[in-house]
Amino acid sequence: GQVTAASVRMRLAKGMPLEQALASVRSDPCGRKVADSHPWKQEAHQGAINHLERQTAAMQERVQGERLDRAASLLNQEVPPCAEH
C-alpha cells in the first residue's frame, strides 16, 4: 500500500517520526476511500435512486389520471337548469 503525501505531511506536522509516518499505511486517513467510491457501488446506488424516481413518477401519473377522470365525470353529468326567481 501507499501513504499519501498529504497524510505524511499531516503526521510530520503532528510530530510523528518520519519512519512511522511513512510506515503506517493502514491507518492513512487521507488514503481511505468512502464506501460509495467504487463504480459498481455508485451504479447500484444510482439504480436505487432511479427506481424510486420511477415509482414516484408512476404514482404522480396515477393520481393525475384519477383527477382527470373525476373532472371528466363531473363534466359529463347533466346539470339541472337553475330555477329562475
- First-to-last C-alpha distance (Å) of the chain: 93
Give the pLDDT confidence score for residue 31 in this predicted structure. Answer: 55
Cα 45 from Cα 36, distance rounded (Å) = 8
Q: What angle do CA 21, 10, 36 make, to 5 degrees?
A: 95
pLDDT in tens, 48-63: 677 888 889 999 999 9
Give the pLDDT confidence score for residue 24 in this predicted structure. Answer: 66
Contact indicator for 68, 62 with CB cutoff of 8 Å: no
- Mean pLDDT, consecutive 10-residue segments, the chain of 85 residues? 78 86 66 58 68 88 94 82 66
